[in-house]
A and B are shown apart, each in its own frame.
Chain A
Amino acid sequence: MTQILTMVAQRLALGLLTLFVVSLIIFLGVELLPGDLTQAILGQAATEETVAAFRRELKLDLPPHERYVAWLGGILQGDLGHSLANKRAITELMGVRLWNTLFLAFISAAVAVPLALGLGILAALYRGTPYDRAVNIVTLSSISFPEFFVAYILILVLAVQLGWFPSISNIGEELGFWERVYRSILPALTLTLVVVAHMMRMTRAAIINLMASPYIEMANLKGLPRVRIIVRHALPNALAPIINVVVINLAYLVVGVVIVEVVFVYPGLGQLLIDAVRTRDIPVVQATGLFFAAAYILLNLTADVLSILTNPRLLHPR
């Protein structure tokens, strides 16, 4: 157990280092983007004079390294700073959206993960049967359609024609929990369709892969029923790769849903990040980017710890 804790500590330290590098890359990336915030905001209305005045006001006329150091100093004191574009505190800008993003990820995962595991196990169980192939075709097709396309189809059928769900989420703080769930169903369903196939295929593959190993053969020879073999003997050992894929997809649900947010007008972090990149609002890009990076690192760590717990051999790779 202490070994796991040491590993976690090490990984967290490395994670901090990663975050630092990420912040540096994002900063440089936004700096390298042609144009800056003042031009982006003033748009067609940008003239040399107004741009210069705007830059002075926002301290954008300082050299980049000074601004980066100032920002880093703020972060180390726990101050995310203010948006350059509208002077709002970033914690305030991000707060609500952060919860919205996690909420959507959570309800999507709550549907997608059990569904994928179930379908995957069944597919492994009935491998080669028409059921297996049907599930395969359906899930493969669903991931090969672009997200916005899946979303439009769902809207057409479930919102426009059947009128069961609202076509835009339009989530606000004043809504109750179930109203929120109701208004998030279409985006969640879209995301589910997008992520299920990957997880389901990996579950199936991992289990089938194990079916050839001697101890499963042994169980087979003992005459145990296939369901029992799969659930009791194969699944636990197949968990490591499955957990990995599940976590990759969870990370995707948190960080990669910009397009679903746009289509369903769901006020999440992805849209904030894109907007901030477009207006070159560096502090907002940084804060959001760091949150995404941190989420990714933590999820990964969780996956590794869980994998080790299911299969302690992984702690000693050599």
Chain B
Amino acid sequence: MQDALRLLGNSPWSARLGMLVVLFYVVVAIFAPVLTPYGESEIVAAEYEPWSSEFLLGTDNLGRDMLTRLIYGARNTIGIALITTVLAFLIGCVAGFLAATLGGWADQAIGRVVDVLMAIPQLIFALLILTIVGTAIPILVVVIAVLDSTRVFRLSRAVAMNIVVMDYVEVARLRGEGLWWIMRREVLPNALPPLVAEFGLRFCFVFLLLSALSFLGLGIQPPTADWGSMVRDNATLITFGDFTPILPAASIALLTVGVNFIVDWFLHQTAGLKDE
């Protein structure tokens, strides 16, 4: 714990900024109902009211308070993206480590399945599945997680391949340690840095896929607020130089930058520790 605090004390400004941003988002997401002046889908005024003291960021295309939607959007979007990314990494890493550690036919089998999944364009695959089974949020999460996990699988397998040939893994095998133990105690810690780096990017790719799906009319059900559809709903305004749609997009961007700053710092730390 003290180590962690010391580390925090030594962190560069970028990492601190990143943490501040993430912390802010988390607080906003958790306390959304307290922080918002209106209900999530409550229609409070005419459409496209300008910014005012009553509606800090104006209202959207149906006359709902923009700030309220933005805050609830944080809750829904971050929640969904986080769960999806974690799930994708869980599936991808377990499969990748298994393939690398077991090798042989298991590697081949998992590898070929992933090849097939990756060979079909992601958006089309999502379109097919979501049209067949519907777009309830749990389904959306699982579908995107599975599709994303293929990318994680490739990375984790490649990284783990380099680790399992190391002497200490051989030693552990000879000691008779189980598969799960090796994966957890030997492979995972050493494979962490590149995986964490990937996590930062994957996290924001989930946002992007969600908004791409809403572009095609799939995606999160209304009237739930999510940033992806909020950008989409108001996108034509951009043409006329009205930057309302920038707000949700900028929220996504800020979070991505924040998360990746933390990731960079983490990478720096792990790389730096190796130096010593």
- Tell me the A residues contacting B by CB distance below 8 Å: 14, 17-19, 21-22, 25-26, 29-30, 32-34, 133, 136-137, 140-141, 143-149, 152-153, 155-156, 160, 198, 201, 205, 208-209, 212, 241, 244, 248, 255-256, 258-259, 262, 270, 273-274, 277, 289, 292-293, 296-297, 317-318
B197 at the interface (CB under 8 A from A): yes
Q: A33 contacts B128, CB within 8 Å?
A: yes
- A146-B207, A149-B231, A205-B267 known, 15 other contacts, Cβ within 8 Å: A14-B112, A18-B115, A18-B119, A26-B128, A29-B132, A34-B131, A136-B264, A140-B204, A140-B256, A144-B204, A145-B249, A149-B211, A155-B239, A274-B124, A293-B120
- Tell me the B residues contacting A by CB distance below 8 Å: 14, 103, 112, 115-116, 118-124, 127-129, 131-132, 151, 158, 161, 165, 194, 197, 201, 204, 207-208, 211-212, 215-216, 228, 231-232, 235, 238-239, 241, 245, 249, 252-253, 255-257, 260, 264, 267, 271, 274-275
Nearest CB to that of A285 among chain B residues?
Answer: B124
Q: B252 contacts A145, CB within 8 Å?
A: yes
Which of A140, A141, A241, A258 has the largest count of B CB atoms less than 10 A from its CB? A140
Q: A137 contacts B235, CB within 8 Å?
A: no
Per the bound structure, the CA–CA distance linking A208 and B268 in Å amounts to: 9
From A29, A32, A141, A212, give the contact of B271 (CB < 8 A). A212
Per the bound structure, the CA–CA distance linking A21 and B124 in Å amounts to: 16
Given contacts A136-B260, A205-B267, A259-B215, contact A274 B232 (CB under 8 A): no
From A32, A212, A289, give the contact of B275 (CB < 8 A). A212
Per the bound structure, the CA–CA distance linking A293 and B125 in Å amounts to: 12
Q: A274 contacts B127, CB within 8 Å?
A: yes
Closest 7 CB pairs of A and B: A144-B256, A293-B119, A146-B211, A144-B253, A29-B128, A255-B121, A141-B253
Q: A274 contacts B128, CB within 8 Å?
A: no
Chain B residues whose C-beta falls within 8 Å of the C-beta of A141 in the assembled complex: 253, 256-257
Nearest CB to that of A17 among chain B residues?
Answer: B112
Nearest CB to that of A15 among chain B residues?
Answer: B115
B22, chain A: closest CB distance, angstroms: 14
Per the bound structure, the CA–CA distance linking A156 and B239 in Å amounts to: 6
Per the bound structure, the CA–CA distance linking A232 and B206 in Å amounts to: 37
Question: Main SS of chain B's interface residues?
Answer: helix
A189, chain B: closest CB distance, angstroms: 16
Q: A289 contacts B197, CB within 8 Å?
A: no
B37, chain A: closest CB distance, angstroms: 27
Per the bound structure, the CA–CA distance linking A289 and B264 in Å amounts to: 37
Q: A209 contacts B271, CB within 8 Å?
A: yes
From A34, A209, A258, give the contact of B123 (CB < 8 A). A258
Nearest CB to that of A35 among chain B residues?
Answer: B131
Q: B257 contacts A149, CB within 8 Å?
A: no
Per the bound structure, the CA–CA distance linking A115 and B136 in Å amounts to: 40
20 example contacts (A-B, Cβ-Cβ < 8 A) are as follows A18-B115, A18-B116, A25-B120, A26-B120, A29-B128, A33-B132, A34-B132, A143-B201, A144-B204, A144-B255, A146-B212, A146-B231, A149-B235, A149-B245, A270-B121, A273-B121, A277-B124, A277-B127, A289-B121, A297-B119
Q: B119 contacts A32, CB within 8 Å?
A: no
Chain B residues whose C-beta falls within 8 Å of the C-beta of A19 in the assembled complex: 119
Which of A140, A144, A259, A297 has the largest count of B CB atoms less than 10 A from its CB? A144
Chain A residues whose C-beta falls within 8 Å of the C-beta of B208 in the assembled complex: 143-144, 146-147
Given contacts A18-B119, A148-B215, contact A140 B260 (CB under 8 A): yes
Q: B257 contacts A292, CB within 8 Å?
A: no
Chain A residues whose C-beta falls within 8 Å of the C-beta of B197 in the assembled complex: 201, 205
Q: A22 contacts B116, CB within 8 Å?
A: yes
Chain A residues whose C-beta falls within 8 Å of the C-beta of B238 in the assembled complex: 149, 152-153, 156
Nearest CB to that of B133 among chain A residues?
Answer: A32
Q: B116 contacts A21, CB within 8 Å?
A: yes
Q: B119 contacts A292, CB within 8 Å?
A: yes
Given contacts A208-B271, A317-B165, contact A146 B128 (CB under 8 A): no
Chain B residues whose C-beta falls within 8 Å of the C-beta of A14 in the assembled complex: 112, 115
Chain A residues whose C-beta falls within 8 Å of the C-beta of B264 in the assembled complex: 136
B115, chain A: closest CB distance, angstroms: 5
Per the bound structure, the CA–CA distance linking A318 and B275 in Å amounts to: 27
Chain B residues whose C-beta falls within 8 Å of the C-beta of A297 in the assembled complex: 115, 119
Q: A160 contacts B239, CB within 8 Å?
A: yes
Per the bound structure, the CA–CA distance linking A108 and B228 in Å amounts to: 25
Per the bound structure, the CA–CA distance linking A205 and B196 in Å amounts to: 12
From A140, A201, A277, give the contact of B128 (CB < 8 A). A277
Chain B residues whose C-beta falls within 8 Å of the C-beta of A26 in the assembled complex: 120, 128
